[in-house]
A and B are shown apart, each in its own frame.
Chain A
Amino acid sequence: MQIALSVKNISKKFGNFTAVDNVSFDVEDGKFFSILGPSGCGKTTLLRMIAGFLQPDTGSVEISGKNMLGVEPNKRPVNLVFQNLALFPMMNVYDNIAFGLRRRGERGKSVEQKVNSMLKRVGLPDFGLKKINQISGGQKQRIAIARCLVLEPSALLLDEPLGALDAKLREHMKVELKKLQAEVGTTFVYITHDQSEAMVMSDYVAVMNAGHFEQLDTPQNLYSNPSSAFVAQFVGKNNKFIAKQGKDEDGNFFAETEDGHSFKLSKPVDLKKDDDFIELYIRPEAMIINPKVTKENFNILDVTVKALLFDGGNSRLLVEPENSKQELIISLPQNRQFDYIKAKDRIKIGWDPEAAVCFKKTEGKIYEEL
């Protein structure tokens, strides 16, 4: 596989603030690559350095094997889809798409042919003469992408382009974008703070925090094998316990929470000091309600149902373990099996220790969800 984009040890400081801290990665040709992180993590700075709007302090950007140091944005073989799309309001759709071609000095038939075939490709033939303010949000999206793709860039950079859309259209556009990328085969580098966007569309996702990559992996691996507490919390929903790690007579590890609950651990943390706290994460859907057949080492917990949070296929239970103030979220499959559960019921939940991940406890808050 060819490497479309290669970033090596790139850093950028603004005054005393380090926005991007020694980041390196490669993107293979034709892949959908996402950079996922909370706002302020440095992902926009990183993208602007790739596009050429910012000069990195150190490190290099290579596009299709060529070093881009000192090459201006208008000479780079990558194009950027802006957060607000930045379609030119004083031109019609056709002129927007033809803009880049004309800047290269292309004129006449070849421009017309390329623009029209690109319009067809994004599913908007005959839209050429429309004004930008006459088309819908989703259509603008496609025009903004078409405007870049018509230049056949080595990679297309996308800066949260779905951010401005309403929820329903965003869901739809996720699928559209994925399909479009598969069809045109151009490398996409997509930045977002929305983990669902990154997961649904990407071949690879890099989770970024405080200027560096926490983990670069496939979406599946990010979800099931987060390599840090930050990733475990940022990607998907998770239940978290703070506990102390211990070992019983048989040499099996267990975790003891402050509330006195004890859970078996299958993947213990390698601690330097024995009295360090650990964080234990279990996904809502890994917790099984009233498990009938239990494997022998299942962790079982008695809980009280505080509330039923009905949300169709995404319904959950909010529960509280015995003698504890902690709230847990548990997936509630809508297969009518659990229709009997009501608020204030006492139920059992259980999980396979294999499904939990643990990390050494980090000081302070690492990430605050809104």
Chain B
Amino acid sequence: MIRTLPNSKSYLSGYKLFTLLYFIFLFAPLVVIMILAFNDSMFPSLPWKGFTLGWFFGEGPEKIGIFYDKMNLRAITTSFKVAISVSILSTIVGTMAAFLFEQEDFKFKGALYFLMIAPLVIPGVILGISILLFSTTVGLFFENTFGIDIKILRPGFWLIVFGQFSFITTIVTMVISARLRKFDRALEWAASDLGANRFAVIWFITLQYLKPSIIGGAAIAFLMSFENFNTTTFLISSQPTLPIILYQQVRDGSTPVINAISFILIVSASIVAVANIYFRKKEEKLAQ
């Protein structure tokens, strides 16, 4: 049944087979994408026509590799800018929210907490359209009443950032809160007993303790922002993010250059994931 009990051979091998099949299911699509990124063919499909790095470094005219593909490169740049802005904003506000919900007491805390976790269960599509509708209404109001055109209320860079920020902050808050909950507040009391004021206590004691979760939260925020499609798709204007133009290429068919992009994304996401797990494990070991 479990590892400390005697188990029959058939139980264990049946279980292993099931798990193996599951892992094949899990990895098959990723492996296929990565292999086909190196196929010397104009289509992302078999047969195998030989190895090429053309979908990474090709300068055209036949094969335009990702490093020379202006449209995709521009989208990657936009995505980077959005993701950095979102992760900075949501980490700051998420940290504050963690403090607010874990350490402060106030009226309607329960209601506000409920609001804070609501974005977890609101479909991203709905977040996208409601923010689009709201910003348009407010924008129109300012334009009609005061005759001023507020750019950040129009679809575009900042609206994408706000839209992603609205739900990513919830996730960052939960990551940081989880660690803050384990924090021994006696340390804070000791620090204030030694003469530190509230902000010195937070800066020198609590934030230091929270550092791993803040970094982890920022990494998750970056990745979620970089990959977001559902909310972003309603908020773009002339400068789409990478998932948006990748989607169009996937839908309409494209050369294996999207495999090359995917290859880079898979590898970098794996590195971030492994680093994240590694640091958390190390942290846990230190804690013991």
Contacts and interface: CB of A to CB of B under 8 A. Distances in A.
A interacts with B: yes
Contacts of B5: 53, 73
Contacts of B4: 53
B6 interface: yes
Interface size class, chain A: under 10
Nearest to A54: B6
Interface string B1-44: 00011100000000000000000000000000000000000000
Interface string A29-55: 000000000000000000000001111
Nearest to B6: A55
Contacts of B6: 52-55, 72
Interface of A: 52-55, 72-73
Nearest to B8: A72
Task: Kindly list the 6 A-B residue pairs having the minimum CB-CB distance in the complex, ordered from nearest.
Answer: A53-B5, A55-B6, A53-B4, A72-B6, A53-B6, A73-B5
A131 B12 CA distance: 35
A52 B5 CA distance: 9
Given A53-B4, A55-B6, A72-B6, 5 more contacts: A52-B6, A53-B5, A53-B6, A54-B6, A73-B5
8 contacts: A52-B6, A53-B4, A53-B5, A53-B6, A54-B6, A55-B6, A72-B6, A73-B5
Grouping DSSP codes into helix (H, G, I), strand (E, B) and loop, the B interface class, with mixed when no group exceeds half, is: loop
A214 B4 CA distance: 28
Grouping DSSP codes into helix (H, G, I), strand (E, B) and loop, the A interface class, with mixed when no group exceeds half, is: loop
Contacts of A54: 6
Contacts, number: 8
A158 to B, nearest CB: 18
A272 B4 CA distance: 46
Interface size class, chain B: under 10
Nearest to B5: A53
A54 B5 CA distance: 7
A170 B283 CA distance: 37
A41 to B, nearest CB: 19
Contacts of A72: 6
A72 B6 CA distance: 8
A55 B6 CA distance: 8
A352 B191 CA distance: 61
Contacts of A52: 6
Contacts of A55: 6
A53 B6 CA distance: 6
A313 B274 CA distance: 61
A53 B1 CA distance: 11
A52 B4 CA distance: 11
A1 to B, nearest CB: 32
A196 B66 CA distance: 76
Nearest to A53: B5
Nearest to A73: B5
A124 to B, nearest CB: 30
Interface in B114-164: none
B178 to A, nearest CB: 22
Nearest to B4: A53
B233 to A, nearest CB: 43
Nearest to A70: B6
A53 B5 CA distance: 5
Nearest to A48: B4
A53 B4 CA distance: 7
A160 B6 CA distance: 22
A52 B7 CA distance: 12
A364 to B, nearest CB: 31
A72 B5 CA distance: 10
A265 B167 CA distance: 84
A73 B4 CA distance: 12
A270 to B, nearest CB: 45
A73 B5 CA distance: 9
Contacts of A53: 4-6
A152 to B, nearest CB: 24
A52 B1 CA distance: 13
Interface string B227-256: 000000000000000000000000000000
B44 to A, nearest CB: 50
A59 to B, nearest CB: 16
A338 B5 CA distance: 58
A73 B6 CA distance: 9
Nearest to A72: B6
B256 to A, nearest CB: 51
A55 B4 CA distance: 11
B10 to A, nearest CB: 14
A73 B2 CA distance: 13
A54 B7 CA distance: 10
A273 B53 CA distance: 83
A220 B107 CA distance: 66
